[in-house]
Structure 1
Amino acid sequence: MQLTQTWDKVFPRSERVDHQKVTFTNRYGITLVGDLYLPKDRGARRLPAIAVGGPFGAVKEQSSGLYAQTMAERGFVTLAFDPSYTGESGGSPRNVASPDINTEDFSAAIDYLGRHASVDRERLGILGICGWGGMALNAVAVDKRVKAVAVSTMYDMTRLMSRGYNDSVTPQQRTHTLEQLSHQRWTDAANGTPAYGPRMNDLKGGEAQFLVDYHDYYRTPRGFHPRAVNSNGSWTITTPLSFMNMPILTYIKEIAPRPILFVHGERAHSRYFSETAYAAAAEPKELVIVPGASHTDLYDKVDVIPFDRFADFFGKNL
């Protein structure tokens, strides 16, 4: 691995936080790369810590890093990481996602944080953004070391890929998609390498506003990063296969009695993901709807993201 040592985030560096690039290994033997943020005034205290991941197709130099650095300014040790097969993390082939392996990535981050000298391992939390919000909830359901979980502008990627937006996919459409993906496996096997879809977030005109919003974040100077799938690449065509029949929020009730904070934008096309997950979860839980906010507003707009709510939630529960 050749890791970038210069500051190449899409957000400015904070003078109130110490930053280190770190590596750790998940249960499948994949080496992950993360950015560790520590409050400069931490002294010798052991602090609560938060693993931060997402959005789906993003890298740690984008939203997750901004969230991590900002929460470190508020007194938490934080770790933003690149999921397996993406960014600076290991895994081959590149740009493939897995509901199982990417859930494991969060627990691997908890492994790392719980062994760090500046961290109190009894005060560990997870924060997931967009598609990694669903992964975060899945991870906390199974990983009882985590004391609290928050999700921002959450997507359930397994629901999206299997049912489409607003659950609009018919059984016939689902069967057709699976037939195509199944036959693509033969093509990939014959070629010895997976085929990739078109470059993410291209616009041809006439797209829905939320797709324009994605382009505005990932493909402009606002949020572009050369290592991000959503900025500068595409997923393997067969990436949806394991998502199609593995609903990751099946055991969301088992997060209780540990608390969940859902944060979503009032105008977000994805708002229903948080609302239905909130309805399915057991108490204690809280749903915060940010007035006027779109899905991508909660990626990087620091005057819109309710960081004080996140800090208060983790401060009380870790």
Structure 2
Amino acid sequence: MTTLIIAEHDNIEIKASTLHALTAARQIGKPVHVLVAGYQASQVATAAAKLEGVEKVLLADAEHVAAGLAENVEPTVTSLASAYSHLVFPATAFGKNIAPRVAAKLGASQISDVTTIVSADTFERPIYAGNAIATVQSLDEVKVLTVRLAAFAGGSDNGGNAVIEKVEAAADRGLSSLVSRELTQLERPDLSGAKVIVSGGRGLGSGEQYKAVLEPLADKLHAALGASRAAVDAGYVPNDYQVGQTGKIVAPDVYIAVGISGAIQHLAGMKDSKTIIAINKDAEAPIFAVADVGLVGDLFEAVPQLVAKLSA
């Protein structure tokens, strides 16, 4: 049997999340196909065909699947499912929206947030906010997985030469339609894929202080900006910045936590970072338990000093 990846894209470009899903799919040890469900998305299919390790790309081109809505993408996925042993989705908003509906329609038990492929039927996933790892074996005929991006490196976007096959998209269910979509335009690296992240918490005191203190540091390090849930709830920054169990799961090379105490739900989203640097005035803050480098001090003095050193 074969593994099918459901590609995340915007009908123009394939998203990096698909490359992470591809790495996981290849570890299953079966041939890999990619489904591109979109509208006028031939260039996405062409890009998918160039991904290393992909044998075939299925292009379902129809206007009603352009928005990636679960109600319309799911029927197309389930119509193809009998030919596959594994359906792999990235654990992003896109994948988490569609995968449960697919699993329910197939009568399968979805395996969420997979971090390790043990074998073709056995997987590891975090539970209890990442404080324990569960090993899950599935006997379902078709296994429906969402894979945590931070656990799998992005594969090569070049080197492949897969064939592209057009397939029929399932009919429009008429259950939902896209009214509007407001996209946040980022001038910095995307949080999910950034190698360096500067993240701020409630200790910064306000949105104005967040920008004044953290943006110069992020500029020097060419870093993405993140935040704790407390900072987001306080209105310092938009929801897109949130790192944690209820936000984005990240694993950059360097994670700098400024004014973040280290609540369990935040640690669950960043503790797999290669190097964690924490700056906090509270020496007992839980963040120091996971930090590789910790500085106890006033962030309003420490961060500008660090920026000055980087500018020297």
Per the TM superposition, whether the score is higher than 0.5 is: no
**Greater strand fraction, Structure 1 or Structure 2:** 2
Taking structure 1 as the reference length, the TM-score comes to: 0.28
Which structure has the higher relative contact order (CA within 8 Å, separation 6+)? 1
Taking structure 2 as the reference length, the TM-score comes to: 0.29
Q: Which structure: larger Rg?
A: 2
